[in-house]
A and B are shown apart, each in its own frame.
Chain A
């Protein structure tokens, strides 16, 4: 029974993410309108054949904006998770494998960072520096590091005591080889799970920050930015909120299902 729902989740997650991915890719290849092109005649036009998702308060085609916003959001999500993953894995591996003083020192720093909510950390970062897209990626990337490092540390510490690591050591393999060629493949389930969860958090955080007015700057579209702009028209033009919202929900749901599947396997 459990296995079946697991499989179902996996398939549904893949379908959802596949669909979203295709939608995003379609944005790279073709957008029906310029996502920033304004048109006074279509101010807040309701969905129609010409504009399937309707138009926003500047007469910009919401379909095209959702496409480009999705690309922005995914771009930010992927790059910040990549940054967080590389740094987090490196730190986690060092801490878990070497233990001792490095572990203690780094771990205390992580604890301090952990004590501050990651979105707050990103907010501080962005208010100190300019809120450009690059900085948003950096901020989100760094905010992922502590939790990532902590989870990876746990795994590396477990693996350190395993027979195969000891054997590799006897054979004279270098530390770097042991860490990343031998151990890393063995912690893949946690690793992938970490990435999926981080990605979910990064997408949500980006949306949250854009929603608060920092992060992606107008007129550039991102899903969070669109939701923030749309809420002023919640009753007069509900379609403006609904379409970016639905895409966002579907994407997050997809990732959720996948990571759930991953953790089941892990357990």
Chain B
């Protein structure tokens, strides 16, 4: 008798939990109308909403959907007109006259005028203050709205990369009447920014009056999934429909009946970035020794099942003419050589330093672990310090308070400058404190040279210097695996670090 009441009790309890659980499921499903998508992202955006002030690549890639510049990068790495309809470049290459595209509207419904463009470019180039958000913008002498639909940009020296720079989110066009761009996001892109719940999600909705036609998916939720270990479960469980940059381990856990795996590259320069100001790393021999001591092929084998591309400097293969494959061979895996270099530098007894890694990026955490293990071979102790993303951004990146870190650096624009300008000794985002007058000179030369071949040569010199100085231990351009629910189709990879939602469609 007693037993049966007990059993009944248990059954009742189970029923109760089940009902509650099922109710929750039903709620979830209702919420998902056919034209919405939930995309998992690895971190929250603790960043300004002002595109000219954004720091993190993770923020910029999302707001690619909200903001547009005069030009825009397309899937094949070409620059296509966006807010601008057309451009006329003067003979000497110093004056650019843009004709605005007709009928482009901001998210608040107002038309984009030449005055808005003048305001936006003047704001990011900071012509009066002299601290532009992209170093190359210091080249802009003036920007004037000549009439309602024409804007003229005058440069001090000709610059082939101007259009590419203007295509980046750092030069997005903002409405002049928005007094608080860092908290109110109004752009011209295919999606409107709706809201952000800290540590939970960021919501966007389709902009019906987008000049290139409203996107098919109407509601987009970017759900923050900062725990790298549960992403596969979230995908399989249906709480997210898509996740970019999966690790191979996460991929193995995904239910292939529900998801399609797309493969591209991340367009990131992943490396162990060294604080060149930190004691032992001031010595180039120590840095070179580390390069020799890291077996990059093995890192690839562990971290991405051998996929990915080994790189030797701050440039990725997708940037065709600037990429120098021979630099990959500069530091072959050679522990003997590494030991020699270390003892020459006075660290024969070993060396200890810490690697700071943002814990939400599994690839980087894994890479750091493999590197730490490999460095033991040459008597170097690398202690891993996991930090959360915000701490990494403020302490490591902004304050440069670290010894070494494993991270991937992206190119916000489709130019060589995007990867290389941060290593100029005075650059504000030179978080590795690299400083070499020869580098600065080559970079300045590249910036002032119009002729493409000579310019490319200067950029290549820069890359070579970075590699020879072993400014950082360059590892790989990570392979990118995107899991997309079979309910959707049309995701496209870009050669720049963006997440374009507007091309995604509902699968038939």
Contacts and interface: CB of A to CB of B under 8 A. Distances in A.
**Are both chains from one complex?**
yes
Interface of A: 36-38, 40, 43, 57-58, 130-131, 213-214, 217-219, 228-229, 231-236
Contacts of B252: 233, 236
Contact of A36 (B228, B229, B233, B373): B373
B232 A219 contact: no
Contact of A218 (B228, B232, B369): B369
Contacts of A38: 302, 370, 373
Nearest to A38: B373
Contacts of B368: 218
B386 A214 contact: yes
Contacts of A217: 383-386
Nearest to B301: A40
Contact of B370 (A58, A233, A234): A58
Nearest to A236: B252
Contact of A58 (B232, B359, B362, B373): B373
B256 interface: no
Contact of A234 (B253, B298, B365): B253
B369 A58 contact: yes
Given A213-B359, A218-B365, A232-B362, A130 B385 contact: yes
29 contacts: A36-B373, A36-B376, A38-B302, A40-B298, A40-B301, A43-B302, A57-B366, A58-B366, A58-B370, A58-B373, A131-B385, A213-B359, A214-B386, A217-B385, A217-B386, A218-B369, A218-B386, A219-B372, A219-B384, A232-B247, A232-B249, A232-B250, A232-B253, A233-B249, A233-B252, A233-B253, A234-B233, A236-B249, A236-B253
A58 B302 contact: yes
A218 B373 contact: no
A43 B373 CA distance: 15
A219 B383 CA distance: 8
B4 interface: no
Given A38-B302, A131-B386, 13 more contacts: A36-B373, A36-B376, A57-B302, A58-B369, A58-B373, A218-B368, A228-B229, A232-B228, A232-B249, A233-B249, A233-B252, A234-B253, A236-B253
Q: What bracket does the count of chain B residues touching chain A fall in?
A: 20 to 34
Central interface residue in A58, A130, A232, by most chain B CB within 10 Å: A232
Interface string B234-266: 000000000000010110110000000000000
A232 B249 CA distance: 7
Grouping DSSP codes into helix (H, G, I), strand (E, B) and loop, the A interface class, with mixed when no group exceeds half, is loop
B230 interface: yes
A231 B250 CA distance: 10
Contacts of B302: 38, 40, 43, 57-58
Contact of B373 (A37, A130, A213, A235): A37
A217 B384 CA distance: 6
Nearest to B253: A235
Contacts of B386: 131, 213-214, 217-218
Interface of B: 228-230, 232-233, 247, 249-250, 252-253, 298, 301-302, 359, 362, 365-366, 368-370, 372-373, 376, 383-386, 388
A58 B233 CA distance: 22
Contacts of A234: 233, 253
Contacts of A36: 373, 376
A43 B369 CA distance: 14
A37 B369 CA distance: 11
Nearest to B359: A213
A102 B370 CA distance: 54
Nearest to A58: B302
B253 A219 contact: no
Contacts of A40: 298, 301-302
A74 B368 CA distance: 26
Given A40-B298, A233-B249, A219 B229 contact: no
A38 B371 CA distance: 11
Nearest to B385: A217
A43 to B, nearest CB: 7
B383 to A, nearest CB: 7
Contacts of B301: 40
Contact of A231 (B230, B247, B383): B230
**Residue among A57, A131, A228 having the largest count of chain B Cβ atoms under 10 Å:** A57
A58 to B, nearest CB: 6
A236 B250 CA distance: 10
Contacts of B388: 213
Contacts of B376: 36
A231 B373 contact: no
A36 B366 CA distance: 13
A40 to B, nearest CB: 5
Contacts of B228: 232
Contacts of A236: 249, 252-253
B229 A232 contact: yes
Nearest to A41: B301
Nearest to B386: A213
A213 B391 CA distance: 14
A247 B320 CA distance: 53
A79 B166 CA distance: 59
A58 B302 CA distance: 6
A232 to B, nearest CB: 4
Q: Which residue of A58, A131, A218, A236 has the most chain B CB atoms within 10 A of its CB atom? A: A218
A219 B373 contact: yes
A129 to B, nearest CB: 12
Contacts of A228: 229
A69 to B, nearest CB: 15
Given A40-B301, A213-B386, A214-B386, A219 B250 contact: no
B369 A219 contact: yes
A101 B204 CA distance: 59
A57 B252 CA distance: 12
A38 B374 CA distance: 9
Contacts of B229: 228-229, 231-232
Contacts of B370: 38, 58
Contacts of B253: 232-236
